[in-house]
A = this chain, B = another copy of it.
Amino acid sequence: TTYNIASIPGDGIGVDVTEAAEAVLNKLAETVGTFKFNFTTFDWSSKKYLERGWYMPEDGMQQLSKYDAIYFGAVGSPDVPDHISLWGLILPIRKYNNQYVNVRPTRVLPGTVAPLAQCQKRPQDIDWMIIRENSEGEYAGQGGTTHENSPDTIATEVAIFTRVGIERIMRFAFETAKSRPRKKLTMVTKSNAQRHGMVLWDKVFHEVAKEYEGVVEWDKMLVDAMTVRMVNKPESVDTIVATNLHADILSDLAAALAGSIGIAPSANLDPTRKYPSMFEPIHGSAPDIAGQGIANPVGAFWSAAEMVRWVGQGKLDKVADDFMQAIENVTSNPKTRTKDMGGSANTKETTEAVIKQIDVV
């Protein structure tokens, strides 16, 4: 089998780590021998935007639609306002391709230091799977500005929640929880203060929950209280489902609490598989260290492992697990992990170490 991957390195260290991820994925395919990757690079970046005024060509989405998956580095540049770069590239790709789920696995990888005293003793207390609604809610893009340049300017952000959108993310979240050892799901809202969309979210949740009675154990939290629980009782958390904005915040907090903000992965999935799904490390473009060969490629590798799992449709789960093991072997050794993880390696050395490990595991 050949998997055709649209590769979008984007900006800054996105370029460094995408190159590293491709090398490692090619090695993985070669070692396993039953599949291969065919990467096509799309130079859609802030640099190009500044040259030609657009991030993606008009038929960009059609071009992407031919691929089995999209691999994404990072977007963001000091020379372009963030809302322009993000709405020029990453957000429209998520939306157009029906990637209504954003999955963020969170664990304390060997070699990382979790900042909570409790987790320094018991890193296994953090083992979370965050399911983020990725297509609507607070990121619907609606709203506007009235009386601009007047003392009376008002601007709105309109969060849109649809029954269809809520139902499908809830179902995905319950299925995910069901597939995990502890089979627990926490549903997050702010329905005490936000009484329209958030109340619908509650209502649909309860309907879907009925289908999983006795199978998945669930509870509900307000988003503010959820941050408290993640800090005070991390071991009580398993799978989390939350809106686009709430889960955005909770997943960054999660990565920080796991000591892995620089290495956490994310998967933007279209569970219907009609459109390509997209895999990206959550770290940004880090323009200050771009091109110096020192970026940590582990988030890119972890995201690549999730991509392997996804395109394999169940047939490559073992391969993805072994790949993760190879990555963890590398992060546990200070000689093969990068400086941000207290190690001494550069991007190339870490990449070569993972390539070597792939032979071993």
Residue positions of A touching B, CB distance < 8 A: 76, 82-83, 86-87, 91, 115-118, 120, 138-139, 141, 143-145, 150-164, 190-200, 223-225, 227-228, 231-232, 245-246, 248-249, 251-253, 255-257, 261
Contacts and interface: CB of A to CB of B under 8 A. Distances in A.
Given A223-B249, A261-B228, A161 B152 contact: no
A155 B200 contact: yes
A338 B273 CA distance: 55
Nearest to A244: B193
A233 B167 CA distance: 38
A199 to B, nearest CB: 6
B227 A252 contact: yes
Nearest to A86: B192
Given A83-B192, A117-B117, A152-B164, 5 more contacts: A76-B192, A91-B193, A151-B163, A227-B227, A232-B261
B227 A87 contact: no
Nearest to A201: B155
A166 to B, nearest CB: 9
A80 to B, nearest CB: 11
**Closest 5 pairs between A and B when the two form their complex, measured CB to CB:** A82-B192, A224-B252, A83-B195, A227-B253, A143-B196
A77 to B, nearest CB: 12
25 contacts: A83-B191, A86-B192, A115-B232, A116-B116, A117-B120, A143-B159, A143-B194, A143-B196, A144-B196, A155-B160, A156-B196, A156-B197, A157-B159, A157-B198, A158-B158, A159-B159, A190-B248, A225-B252, A228-B252, A228-B256, A228-B261, A231-B253, A232-B261, A246-B249, A249-B249
Given A120-B117, A232-B256, A257-B231, A157 B224 contact: no
A83 B116 contact: no
Contact of A157 (B120, B154, B194, B228): B194
B154 A160 contact: yes
